Amino acid sequence: MTQLSNEKRQIISIPIEDGLISLRGLSPKRLRFEIEYALERGSTANSFLFSQRDQLVGETKAAILIHPPGDNYANAFLTELKKSLDPNAKKLIVVIGHVNPNRVSFLHKLVDAYSEVTLICSNPGTKLLRELWHQKKPSKTTGNQEVNKNLPKLPKIHTVKDQEVISIENKYELQLIPAPTARWPGGLLVFEKNLGLLMSNKFFAAHLCTTEWAEANRSSTEEERRHYFDCLMASMSNQVDALVDRLQELDIRTIAPGHGPAIEASWRSLMNDYQRWGEGQQKSALKVILLFASAYGNTAAIADALAKGISRTGVQVQSHNCEFTPADELISTIRNADAYLIGSPTLGGHAPTPIVSALGTLLAEGDREKPVGVFGSYGWSGEALELLENKLRDGGFKFGFEPIKVKFSPNAAMIKMLEETGTLFGRNLFAVQKRNLRRTTGGLSTSKSDPKILALGRIVGSLCVLTARKGNESEELSGAMVASWVSQASFSPPGITIAVAKDRAVEALLHKGDHFTLNVLAAGRQHELMRQFLQPFPAGANRFANLQLNASPSNQPILPDALAWIEGCVKQRMECGDHWLIYAEIHHGKVLDQEGTTAVHYRRTGATY
């Protein structure tokens, strides 16, 4: 897969068929809203342009642009679009796959460039577009939402209330498919029947910067697509699963998502994976309902990070966008949830009306014995968050974590803290469930008497501390964990495998290409380091506080008191139940104490570490 090293964003034109091209925005560096979704491999923004021409008189008809990019690509995109259209073209039909402020900003410039623009949106998309068209995004100087009167007039909008078909010169048929979800209520997919081309927008995407039209094979993008699913789709698995069922009825030959390369040979496998990845969530006995509204995407980004952290523990998360969730559905989900999270932006000093309504429903229907959490973003004063917190505290609810208040958008360090907050929240739910189970069973545990589990515990491993660090000084992320499920895996090249629990914070730093250090502990000297790294850390805490560290050649943390250290680079990841099995090639290492011996971990049972 060809990736760009140049940091400059650009637009390339990829011919697909006669009269159809893909205009691909290339971003070698991640964009602001990719902080929580990307693996630092850049991204693409994929748009599709169908041109039309009357063959008899040569008159240019309105071209159809599908899934326009965000404002980050505006100047380069409009330049490339002009090259791709007739010089005198003024008419343009634009199908909008999802609506957000960044995309609306781009549409402002598009309407300035083309005098006859018609926008096609789903019903929720039209509502969002009308709300956002003249709104000025809050800034660090003004703080509050304002109306911008200098913007172009909102063009004609065609609203798709159910599936519709657009025919293009008897050659192409575009089937418009509304696909609303909590994260993208205005979702709209486009399927071209004759080519079997599904332009899937946010679904089946991957953040990866590449100039190639399609992926080479399934494994070449599997990690990026799985990571994208875990970050964005897992908390909507019921909605995603229903959509996949609908899409499998289409005669698909290629899926072209809004981000990343197209999928040609293995699209059915990817659809099956989407359903399989969501199964674990749907089968969980514990369920958290996540209620939110998000005007500019910041509160939604916080919700995504919390949901990802909770999902790592195996707890099911169900996200609901309060602006588009029916009242009866909201009541039902609140009654059946084991915990509640509610998030809101502050707009003009207030919480949005749908959040106020959802808060009232939660106060009326929620169980006070179940934990609650409040989160949100604000630009100036944050009155909405104070409202949520005060009403829930006065209502007798118990908070699972202190209210999270983020000014403007969360950065990488904040995202990591949010994920860890979600993980701790999920672990606490499981702890309560286990205590209740012990009460009902008299404290008996089947694992203590299961012969195979007892035998499994006799497998011993060396005691190590895995340390990892990535990013620059301004956005450095780091993590560590005690590891004993470690084994040499290969001679040439030298390699090891490490089992990492899905709910470990450091797991986010162990994707393909990431470096880490494995610090092997010395027998008799392991206890102090064990106490340091086995203590319960608050979310976002520095695992290396007050420790002296050395650095490996790739700047990974080395513990000077270790027996030995080895530096590895992750090459493969395999999902194994509640753990990821990491295979890494060893690039550097050193024995620090020639006389010492390796500390070994002995267990009585294979049911715990």
465-487 confidence digits (pLDDT tens)? 999 999 877 778 999 999 999 99
Does the pLDDT at position 221 exceed 60? yes
Looking at residue 147, what is its pLDDT? 58
Overall average pLDDT of the 158-168 stretch: 92
- Name the average pLDDT for the chain: 91
Query: Which of these CATH numbers, 3.40.630.30, 3.30.70.260, 3.60.15.10, 3.40.50.1100, describes 10-278?
Result: 3.60.15.10
> What's the pLDDT score for residue 465?
98
As annotated, the residues of the chain forming the CATH 3.40.50.360 domain(s) are: 284-428
Contacts for 199 with CB less than 8 Å, ≥ 6 apart = 46, 48, 66, 67, 97, 189, 190, 191, 192, 256, 257
Backbone conformation region of residue 442, classed left if phi is above 0, alpha if psi is from -120 to 50, else beta:
left
- In this predicted structure, what is the pLDDT of residue 436? 81
pLDDT tier for residue 63 given thresholds of 50, 70 and 90: very high
| Average pLDDT of the segment spanning 71-100 | 92
Q: Are 309 and 423 in contact (CB under 8 A)?
A: yes
Check whether 55 has a pLDDT greater than 70. Answer: no
pLDDT of residue 275: 93
CATH superfamily of the 451-601 domain: Electron Transport, Fmn-binding Protein; Chain A (2.30.110.10)
* More confident of the two residues 360 and 72: 360
pLDDT attached to residue 2: 46
**In this predicted structure, which of 96-105, 144-153, 572-581 has the lowest mean pLDDT?**
144-153
Task: Give the model's pLDDT for residue 182.
Answer: 94
Q: CA dist 494 to 73, 551, 567, Å?
A: 43, 21, 11
pLDDT at 75 over 50: yes
Q: Rounded to whole angstroms, what are the CA distances from 359 to 290, 291, 338, 400?
A: 12, 9, 17, 17
Surface-to-core class of residue 456, CB atoms within 10 Å of its CB (0-12 exposed, 13-18 middle, 19+ buried): middle
Q: Are 296 and 138 in contact (CB under 8 A)?
A: yes
- pLDDT band for position 4 (50/70/90)? very low
Find the mean pLDDT for residues 36-48: 87
Instruction: Give Cβ neighbours of residue 49 (< 8 Å, ≥ 6 apart).
Output: 20, 21, 22, 23, 63, 64, 65, 66, 81, 84, 85
Question: pLDDT-derived band of residue 33, with 50, 70 and 90 as boundaries?
Answer: low
- How far apart are the C-alpha atoms of 88 and 492, rounded to whole Å? 62
**Domain limits, CATH 3.60.15.10, in the chain:** 10-278
Domain range 284-428, its CATH number among 1.10.150.240, 3.30.70.260, 3.40.50.300, 3.40.50.360: 3.40.50.360
- What per-residue confidence (pLDDT) applies to 62? 84
Would the pLDDT of 7 be above 60?
A: no
pLDDT of 151: 86
The closest of 268, 276, 303 to 288, measured between CA atoms, is 303
Secondary structure (3-state) at 267 = helix
Residue among 483, 455, 474, 470 at smallest CA distance from 514: 470
Which pLDDT value is given to residue 381?
82
Give the full edge-to-edge strand order of the sheet including 43-50.
10-17, 20-27, 43-50, 63-66, 91-95, 116-122, 156-160
232 by DSSP, 3-state: which?
helix
Better-predicted residue by pLDDT, 256 or 546: 256
In angstroms, the Cα distances linking 529 to 463, 520, 562 are: 10, 11, 9
Q: Is the pLDDT of residue 537 over 50?
A: yes
Tens of pLDDT, residues 120-157: 999 999 999 999 999 876 655 555 555 566 789 999 99
Q: Which secondary-structure segment (H or E) carries 16?
A: strand 10-17
Residue 158's CB is within 10 A of a number of other CB atoms, namely 14
Residue pLDDT, tens place only, 228-284: 999 999 999 999 999 999 999 999 999 999 999 999 999 999 999 999 998 877 788
172 class by beta-carbon count within 10 Å (0-12 exposed, 13-18 middle, 19+ buried): buried
Q: Nearest-CA neighbor of 107 among 86, 87, 83, 81?
A: 81
Is pLDDT at 296 greater than 90 in this prediction? no
**Residue 598 or 168, more confident:** 598
Q: Please answer whether residues 199 and 67 qualify as being in contact, where contact means their C-beta atoms are separated by less than 8 angstroms.
A: yes
pLDDT mean over 186-192: 97
- pLDDT at residue 313 is higher than 50: yes
Q: pLDDT value at position 36?
A: 64
> Which token pair is 330?
């909201």
CB-based contacts of 446-451 (< 8 A; 24+ apart in sequence): 447/605, 447/606, 447/607, 448/605, 448/607, 450/607
Residues near 553 by beta carbon (within 8 Å), at least 6 away in sequence: 567, 587, 588
The ranges of the chain annotated as CATH 2.30.110.10 are 451-601
Given this model, what pLDDT does residue 471 score? 83
Which helix (H) or strand (E) segment holds residue 331: the answer is helix 327-335
- Per residue, the 3-state secondary structure of 447-466, as one string, reads HHCCHHHHHHCCCCEECEEE
Give the pLDDT of residue 168: 87
Separation between Cα atoms, residue 131 and residue 121, nearest integer Å: 13
Averaging pLDDT over each range in 82-91, 136-145, 292-301, 335-344, which range is the top one? 335-344
In this model, does residue 67 exceed pLDDT 60?
Answer: yes
**Residue 162 DSSP one-character state:** S
